[in-house]
Structure 1
Amino acid sequence: MKQQTNPWNKIVGENIRKLREENNETQAMLGEFLGYGATTVANYESGYRLPDLVTAYVIAKHYHVLLDELMEEHHES
């Protein structure tokens, strides 16, 4: 059974991936920082899971961005 992903999951996941890659971190590195495994970070980035509010806040602080920035949809031009 395939799980439907919420559009927010996709937006937040893409933003986490972008920030992580811009900071030359692997999923394992971010996962270790958060106290989770790389699989959890992969699930966030794929949109399969959405981080809870506290985890999203910790990610935003880690990358020196506002929590709002994790929620913003970016359009490639």
Structure 2
Amino acid sequence: MRRGGARPGSRALCDWGWDTLDVHRVEWWAMAGNTGSRAVAEKLGFTVEGTLRNRGIANDGKPHDWWVGGLLRP
């Protein structure tokens, strides 16, 4: 698997949201425990704002917690 593509792609998506859609905030959500996703988000400057308990049902049919974070327009 190729490594290193998530951060540049995610940054490009954030830039597109600010430049094209004129949004003031981008949100990041990931299932709690997805440390790879969290690491990318934190390297991009996202603030992890909390954990949503039992937010969604995963493929295993059980509820799981989700992390949520935000990145404000520079």
What TM-score comes out, normalization by structure 1 length? 0.25
Q: Between Structure 1 and Structure 2, which shows a larger proportion of helix residues?
A: 1
The structure with more radius of gyration: 2
Q: Between Structure 1 and Structure 2, which shows a larger proportion of strand residues?
A: 2
What TM-score comes out, normalization by structure 2 length? 0.26
